[in-house]
Amino acid sequence: MIGDPKQLPATTFSPDSNKTLYNRSLFERFIDNGITPFFLDEQYRMHESIREFPSLMFYENRLKDGEIIKTRKFPKYLLNFETKNLFFIDLGFSKEKTVDYSYSNEEEAWLVKI
Mean pLDDT of the chain: 84
Count of beta carbons in the 10 Å neighbourhood of residue 10? 14
Q: Which residues 6+ apart lie within 8 Å of 93 measured at CB? A: 107
Q: Are 49 and 84 in contact (CB under 8 A)?
A: yes
How many other C-beta atoms can be found within 10 angstroms of the C-beta atom of residue 48?
A: 14
Domain borders along the chain are: 1-38, 39-113
Least confident stretch, 5-9, 51-55, 83-87, 95-99: 83-87
Rounded to whole angstroms, the Cα distance separating 23 from 81 reads 38
Q: Tell me the per-residue pLDDT of 14-53, one tens digit each, with 9 for 90 and over.
A: 889 989 988 888 888 889 999 988 889 999 988 888 899 8
- Please report the pLDDT score of residue 62 as a whole number: 96
- Give the C-alpha separation, 29 to 79, whole Å: 42
